[in-house]
Amino acid sequence: MTALRNALPEAEYDRQAKDGRPEEGRWSLSEQLLAGVTDALREIQYILVVANSDGKGRKPRRPEPIRRPGVGVRKQREPMSDKAAEKLFQLINGGAA
């Protein structure tokens, strides 16, 4: 594999690095487990930074999980509107009529 990769022209290597789609490849169980451990460590690091910050600075972004084969890219949810939040609040507090 390394010989094939080293034989690629620089432009093709850069294109594959930028446009690569690991979710379309095959991973072994070891690679899946390593990705899970990496994601867990990154999440713990994020929680540790947020929990120990004074809240005055810029809040770090939650880490994106490593893309895995067969799993599409996670779409960001839009924030809940004030109207939807009020409706949810009413439902939670028994105001559903």
The reply to whether 89 falls in a domain is no
Which pLDDT score is estimated for 71?
Answer: 66
The reply to whether 93 falls in a domain is no
The reply to whether 95 falls in a domain is no
pTM of the model: 0.51
Residue 30: give the domain boundaries: 2-70
The reply to whether 27 falls in a domain is yes
The reply to whether 34 falls in a domain is yes
pLDDT tens digits, 52-89: 988 788 888 999 998 887 666 667 778 888 998 898 88
Instruction: State how many domains the chain has.
Output: 1
Query: How far apart are the C-alpha atoms of 95 and 92, rounded to whole Å?
Result: 7
Nearby residues of 49 by Cβ (< 8 Å), 6 or more positions away = 60
Which pLDDT score is estimated for 39?
Answer: 96
Q: Is the pLDDT of residue 97 over 60?
A: no
pLDDT tens digits, 4-56: 767 778 888 778 777 777 666 777 889 889 999 999 999 999 999 999 988 78
The reply to whether 13 falls in a domain is yes
Nearby residues of 68 by Cβ (< 8 Å), 6 or more positions away = 22, 23, 27, 32, 35
DSSP structure string for 14-46: HHHHHH--GGGS---HHHHHHHHHHHHHHHHHH
The reply to whether 80 falls in a domain is no
